[in-house]
A and B are shown apart, each in its own frame.
Chain A
Amino acid sequence: MQQLLQLVVNGVALGSVYALAALGFVIVYSATGVVNFAAGQFVMLGTFFGVAAIVQAHFPIALGYLAAVIGMALFGVLFFLGVHLPLRKRPVVSVIIGTVAIGIVMQNAALLIWGPWPARLPSPFGDSAISIAGAAISMHALATIVITALLIAALYALLYRTGIGRSMRAIAQDSEAARLIGLPVTLTLIVTWVLAAGCSAFAGLLVGPMWFADVNMGEPVALKAFAATVIGGFGSVQGAILGGLFVGLVEILGASYLTSTYKDLLAFGVMIAFLLVRPQGIFGERIGDRG
């Protein structure tokens, strides 16, 4: 029982990271239609911005987090200008290959800058654990869940309570019409990329202390975020959250109770099953031709 509680907390914490990564992917997809295959490298870069600020520049952790998130926000703007704009009217395959290509560039730039050796990103909560009902629960795991919950609440407030959020949702529905009625489409798209990069930055900063910071960490995160997105429903914010939590829980519980060698197969098996039976995912809209 203690073990189960511990596993569930760890699963939800890991799932929160996947949910944040999936949110970065989904926000961009719904507003711009861009399927960002570099989403995992965004998370990797978030982790390494944290490493640069906290480990290398010796910033206090809170300031280091802030610096990493601001750095990623600027990177989001750069990505909008350098990748989104040139590829915005291209077929989906060009966007897939283009974002994969830029992901390769990001990964290898990180390799050149930070080298192949894994780094350790400290948690603001150290390695401490608290005891709940006899189970040792890592503070970092709990903090990850709380921070993710706060970020999601902030995201909902932004999307549903502010003008820019309304215009984001309008553009997601129909960008031509949004432009016609005078919404600031370009500005909104920039904000979208900044938000996505911010979500990825937090995913990276929070997953850093769970794993080692490694320039190859982007791919496994991306694959899980894709699975989460498909399961939750393409383009759905709550779908990304639920899908992320599901994939994280399946990974941790599946590895303990079912099979550790095939733990990754569980998530992808569920993803493929969803694609076959219900391609719109749990919360996806009716997608007609797309599905």
Chain B
Amino acid sequence: MNRSRFLSAVPVGVALAVALALPAFCSDYMVRLLSTAAIASIAVLGLNLVFGYAGLISLGQAAFIGIGAYTVAVLTTQAGWSPWLASAAGVALCGAFAYVVGIVLLRLKGHYLALATLGLNVSFGIVVSNWTSLTGGTDGIASIPSLTLGSFALDTDARLYLFATVVLVALCALTQAVRTSHLGRSMIAVNDDEMAAGMSGIAVTRAKAAAFAIGGAFAGVAGCLFAVHNRFVSPDDFSYVQSILYLSMLVVGGAGSIVGAVIGAVGVTLLPELLRGAGNAYLLIFGVLVLVVLIVLPDGLVSLARLPVFRRRQRSPRLDPIAEEK
């Protein structure tokens, strides 16, 4: 391990130690919020593969999370599956569905892809709200069982938080492995210049579809954790507004950076607590803060620290293929 790698590992290790020790010092409510932040981090980490690496703007992440969460909810409460088995099915289903979406929407880019995935998320919300026999409609599905490890039930906020944090760390490591693999480099190459990447023999389709599939599977993990954490799912938790929020977490934290994804997810999840004094003006201040970060720190909060980790490549500001073609 060279010096810079080592220096960058120190703050990560410290952050991890603090994260694991936190439940001992926090109120139950705060621990619950931290679990929510860890679950959001997993979802944003998935989005980081899709957008941060492959450059595909997806506003459908909440729908994938919803598919994972509803799979667990339906299979455990209606078919009596064990939560573990149901979670495995949820993650697999999400990955497969995201792969199909990735293949089908392959030709779309930029705001076209953003609107297509947004439409997908809106459609998901409408279907889930109205398919009452399966999903319980707007009443949602309650009393989802919690996960158990042997006789040890992950049924308190602190236990679930620790489990979610371990999963998050594992997925961070997995993301890093993908990032440094041939597949991860292909995704970034496709993001930088799709035509050049294709010309130099990179399987563009494969890279894009894989980004969607892995990102969707991550969302599935987040959805399963959401279901066993909240013990209740309803359509509002997976609306397109949530998808926009996940993408803003990633952009605010720093797209293309694992640390940025986690910082953005945790920061945006905890922000309401910090702004509690603002009362009803909270969302107004939130919007202004996001806009300020976008304007002042286009590479996200992570660029503040100039962490030497996986820095996002510069893209040309506004691609204008029409002008280029002429």
Contacts from A to B (Cβ < 8 Å) = 33, 35, 83, 86-87, 89-94, 96-98, 100-105, 107-109, 111-112, 174, 176, 219, 223, 226-227, 230, 234, 261-262, 264-265, 268-269, 271-272, 275-276, 279, 285, 287-291
Chain B residues, CB < 8 A from A86: 295
Contact for A101 among B116, B290, B317, CB less than 8 A: B290
Task: Using CB atoms, name the residue of chain B closest to A82.
Answer: B291
B308 interface residue per 8 A CB criterion? no
Chain A residues, CB < 8 A from B110: 92, 290
Contact for A92 among B130, B318, B326, CB less than 8 A: B318
The contact string, 1 if C-beta is below 8 Å from chain A, for chain B 276-288, is 0000110110111
**Residue contact B315 to A112, C-beta cutoff 8 Å:** no
CA distance A153 to B265 in the complex (A): 47
Chain A residues, CB < 8 A from B247: 93, 96-97
Chain A residues, CB < 8 A from B320: 33
CA distance A35 to B51 in the complex (A): 18
Task: Using CB atoms, name the residue of chain B closest to A109.
Answer: B284
**Residue contact A89 to B317, C-beta cutoff 8 Å:** yes
Residues of B300-324 contacting chain A, CB below 8 A: 315, 317-323
CA distance A103 to B280 in the complex (A): 16
Task: Using CB atoms, name the residue of chain B closest to A94.
Answer: B294
**Residue contact B284 to A108, C-beta cutoff 8 Å:** yes
Contact for A275 among B51, B115, B126, B127, CB less than 8 A: B115
B164 interface residue per 8 A CB criterion? no
**Residue contact A226 to B118, C-beta cutoff 8 Å:** yes
B178 interface residue per 8 A CB criterion? no
The contact string, 1 if C-beta is below 8 Å from chain A, for chain B 110-129, is 11101110111011001100
Task: Using CB atoms, name the residue of chain A closest to B123.
Answer: A268
The contact string, 1 if C-beta is below 8 Å from chain A, for chain B 32-47, is 0000000000000000
Chain B residues, CB < 8 A from A279: 107-108, 112
B198 interface residue per 8 A CB criterion? no
**Residue contact A288 to B321, C-beta cutoff 8 Å:** yes
Contact for B288 among A93, A105, A291, CB less than 8 A: A105
Chain A residues, CB < 8 A from B322: 285, 287-288, 290
CA distance A111 to B288 in the complex (A): 16
Q: How far is the CB of B144 from chain A (nearest CB, A)?
A: 25
Between-chain CB contacts (< 8 Å), 28 pairs: A35-B114, A87-B295, A90-B294, A90-B318, A92-B110, A92-B318, A93-B57, A96-B111, A96-B114, A97-B294, A101-B294, A102-B287, A104-B286, A104-B287, A109-B284, A112-B281, A176-B323, A265-B123, A268-B122, A269-B123, A272-B116, A275-B112, A287-B322, A289-B109, A290-B110, A290-B321, A291-B108, A291-B112
Given contacts A265-B123, A265-B126, A290-B112, contact A275 B248 (CB under 8 A): no
CA distance A227 to B112 in the complex (A): 11
CA distance A288 to B112 in the complex (A): 12
Contacts from B to A (Cβ < 8 Å) = 51, 57, 59, 104-105, 107-112, 114-116, 118-120, 122-123, 126-127, 130, 194, 241, 244, 247-248, 251-252, 255, 280-281, 283-284, 286-288, 290-291, 294-295, 298, 315, 317-323, 325-326
**Residue contact B318 to A288, C-beta cutoff 8 Å:** no
Task: Using CB atoms, name the residue of chain B closest to A37.
Answer: B244
Q: Which of A87, A94, A219, A234 has the most CB of B within 10 A?
A: A94
CA distance A271 to B105 in the complex (A): 13
Q: How far is the CB of A258 from chain B (nearest CB, A)?
A: 13
CA distance A176 to B324 in the complex (A): 12
Contact for B244 among A100, A230, A271, A287, CB less than 8 A: A100
Given contacts A112-B280, A290-B322, contact A94 B251 (CB under 8 A): yes
Task: Using CB atoms, name the residue of chain B closest to A103.
Answer: B287
**Residue contact A100 to B248, C-beta cutoff 8 Å:** yes
**Residue contact B287 to A105, C-beta cutoff 8 Å:** yes
Q: How far is the CB of B51 from chain A (nearest CB, A)?
A: 7
4 smallest beta-carbon distances between A and B, as pairs: A289-B321, A105-B287, A104-B287, A101-B290
CA distance A204 to B6 in the complex (A): 57
CA distance A23 to B51 in the complex (A): 29
Contact for B251 among A97, A108, A261, A289, CB less than 8 A: A97
Task: Using CB atoms, name the residue of chain B closest to A265.
Answer: B126
CA distance A205 to B311 in the complex (A): 47
Chain B residues, CB < 8 A from A35: 111, 114
Given contacts A223-B122, A279-B108, contact A108 B281 (CB under 8 A): yes
Chain B residues, CB < 8 A from A234: 111-112
**Residue contact A272 to B123, C-beta cutoff 8 Å:** yes
Given contacts A97-B290, A290-B322, contact A276 B104 (CB under 8 A): yes
Question: Can you name 17 extra interface pairs (CB under 8 A) apart from A92-B110, A93-B57, A272-B123?
Answer: A33-B320, A35-B114, A87-B295, A90-B317, A91-B315, A91-B318, A93-B247, A93-B255, A96-B247, A101-B288, A104-B287, A108-B280, A112-B280, A226-B119, A230-B112, A261-B130, A265-B127
Chain B residues, CB < 8 A from A290: 109-110, 112, 321-322
CA distance A227 to B126 in the complex (A): 15
**Residue contact B284 to A275, C-beta cutoff 8 Å:** no
**Residue contact B317 to A275, C-beta cutoff 8 Å:** no
Chain A residues, CB < 8 A from B284: 104-105, 108-109, 112
